[in-house]
């Protein structure tokens, strides 16, 4: 076409009324968020998979952080072992 569309314009979210109400009521609850799992092209349309997610608790965050630190230490040990040879 001869008209160039604005790439930053807002887009319509094509959901049924019931689906939209369910998502908005769930997101308004404390700790819930709407998350885009994947965005992909299907012919000339851009499709998006949406899911409802709940944030981590504080103890979950600490556990994940502890695992990440131990993995990092293990990788350092493996790297330093390889350099000594």
Q: Is the pTM of this model over 0.75?
A: no
Give yes or no for a contact between 19 and 48, defined as CB atoms under 8 angstroms apart.
no
Give residues with Cβ within 8 angstroms of 35, minimum separation 6. 50, 51, 52, 53
pLDDT of 85:
56
**Percent above pLDDT 90 for the chain:** 12
What are the domain boundaries of the chain?
A: 1-54, 56-85
What's the rounded mean pLDDT across residues 6-16? 84
Give the residue with greater pLDDT, 54 vs 72: 72
Inform me whether the pLDDT recorded for 75 exceeds 60. yes
Q: C-alpha distances in angstroms, 14 versus 35, 48, 85?
A: 16, 10, 60
User: 14-53: per-residue pLDDT in tens?
Assistant: 888 998 888 888 888 877 888 889 988 888 888 889 888 8
């Amino acid at each position: 076409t001869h008209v160039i569309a604005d790439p930053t314009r807002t887009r319509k979210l094509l959901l049924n009324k019931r689906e939209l109400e369910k998502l908005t009521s769930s997101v308004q609850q404390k700790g819930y968020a709407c998350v885009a799992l994947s965005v992909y092209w299907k012919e000339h349309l851009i499709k998006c998979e949406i899911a409802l997610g709940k944030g981590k608790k504080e103890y979950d965050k600490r556990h994940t952080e502890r695992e990440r630190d131990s993995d990092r230490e293990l990788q350092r040990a493996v790297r330093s072992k390889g350099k000594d040879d």
